[in-house]
């Protein structure tokens, strides 16, 4: 379970943008009711960029005492929470978190399409996603020039990655 949670964290962290190296020593799951589950220690390298935190609102009760609002989970925490209850979302985050090859980028696109119930819903919003998928598919086959469709223009890996990242973010935002 710890390896899965670490993979989910890596995927969520990758979606945050321009991450820097981070080491994770232990994984804990804190439930709404306050219960804490501790998982086996794990160590991995990820990239993380802290963009900021949600603004705090000062509220007072009827007697004028300052009341702290409950913490608001950031998007990455919300995505992980959804992934813990939805295997398809978990697979999407895991594939995206390790998408440093054309194969994993292609599998990420497939999972996003599965969650959205088809490719047409996503390509309507992200028209370059079809080109990213076709490019990834042509690169992941060893003899791409001998069989299968090769688009006249191919995206670079970084271009395809950005298109996929935007699509994955949209898919996850629709579920949180």
What pLDDT is attached to residue 120? 87
Residue 42's alpha-carbon distances to 14, 24, 87, in angstroms, are: 18, 7, 21
The structure tokens listed for 126 are 């992200």
What pLDDT is attached to residue 17? 66
Taking each helix axis as running N to C, give the angle between helix 87-97 and helix 157-173, from 0 to 180 degrees, rounded to the nearest 10: 150
Mean pLDDT of 23-42: 65
What is the number of other CB atoms lying within 10 angstroms of the CB of residue 30? 9
Mean pLDDT of the chain: 78
Mean pLDDT of 47-55: 49
If DSSP codes are grouped into helix, strand and coil, which group holds residue 46?
strand
- The pTM (predicted TM-score) of the whole model is 0.69
Query: 153 or 136: whose pLDDT is higher?
Result: 136
What is the number of other CB atoms lying within 10 angstroms of the CB of residue 156? 9
| Residue 39: pLDDT band with limits 50, 70, 90 | low
* Residue of 173, 155, 153, 158 lying closest to 112 (CA atoms): 173
Rounded-to-integer distance, Cα 41 and Cα 113, Å? 33
What pLDDT is attached to residue 48? 46
What pLDDT is attached to residue 175? 87
| Residue 165: pLDDT band with limits 50, 70, 90 | very high
Check pLDDT > 70 for residue 19: no
What pLDDT is attached to residue 38? 65
The residues near 133 (Cβ < 8 Å, ≥ 6 apart) are: 106, 109, 119
Mean pLDDT of 116-141: 87
Looking at residue 64, what DSSP letter applies? S
Dump pLDDT digits (tens) for 62-119: 787 877 767 777 888 888 889 999 999 999 999 998 888 999 999 999 999 999 988 8
């Amino acid at each position: 379970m710890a390896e899965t949670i670490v993979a989910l964290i890596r995927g969520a962290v990758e979606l945050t943008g321009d991450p820097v190296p981070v080491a994770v020593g232990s994984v804990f799951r804190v439930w709404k009711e306050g219960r804490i589950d501790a998982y086996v220690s794990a160590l991995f390298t990820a990239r993380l960029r802290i963009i900021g935190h949600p603004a705090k609102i000062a509220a007072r009760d009827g007697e004028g005492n300052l009341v702290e609002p409950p913490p608001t989970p950031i998007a990455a925490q919300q995505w992980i929470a959804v992934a813990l209850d939805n295997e398809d979302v978990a697979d999407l985050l895991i594939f995206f978190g390790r998408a440093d090859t054309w194969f994993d980028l292609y599998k990420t696109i497939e999972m996003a399409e599965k969650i959205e119930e088809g490719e047409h819903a996503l390509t309507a919003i992200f028209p370059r996603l079809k080109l990213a998928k076709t490019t990834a598919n042509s690169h992941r086959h060893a003899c791409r020039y001998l069989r299968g469709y090769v688009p006249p223009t191919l995206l670079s890996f970084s271009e395809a990655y950005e298109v996929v990242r935007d699509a994955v973010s949209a898919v996850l935002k629709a579920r949180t």
